[in-house]
Amino acid sequence: MSDSIFSNTMKSLTPPKMYGLAMAAALVAGVLAWIQPSQAREAFAVDAKEGNFPLVLTADLPKEAREALSLIRKGGPFPYSKDGIVFGNREKALPKQPRSYYHEYTVKTPGAKNRGARRIVCGGNQASGDCFYTDNHYDSFRKIKE
């Protein structure tokens, strides 16, 4: 009996209905991927290993990020005591380097009662090395192009 129900159901699936089911499946897959931050981070880490980062021009950064980048290039002084500490890259969101290669700096967030989620992380020589901007506390980075 279930075979006949299955056969009848399959016969009723016309191409437009099959297209609709495929679209629904794609939508569900997209939502599931969206709610799995660890999977998104892993996908981003693969890009990081290859050095493929979205770019952000310095001029397109928020004013506070431009100010922080200017201080970084000058060597300070920095407004937060944690500015300049080693960034461990535990999330593997940036290209693999020795532990003390990356340093992080706070980007002021207007209205935030703490340091907020915005950071600039620079590698190598802080005066001229590659820097990356995150506005979501290390979930993703954009390479700063000066």
| DSSP-derived secondary structure for 103-121 | EEEE---TT-SSS-S-EEE
Note the pLDDT of residue 67.
97
Active-site residue flag, 104: yes
pTM, full prediction? 0.66
Residue 142 confidence (pLDDT): 94
Of the residues 50, 91, 104, 146, which is catalytic?
104
Q: Which one of 42, 91, 137, 146 is the catalytic residue?
A: 137
CB atoms within 10 A of CB 118: 21
- Residue 103 among the catalytic residues: no
Quick check: helix, strand or coil at residue 56? strand
- How confident is the model over 95-122, as pLDDT tens digits? 999 989 999 999 999 988 899 999 999 9
- Per-residue pLDDT tens over the stretch 36-61: 444 444 444 434 544 678 899 999 99
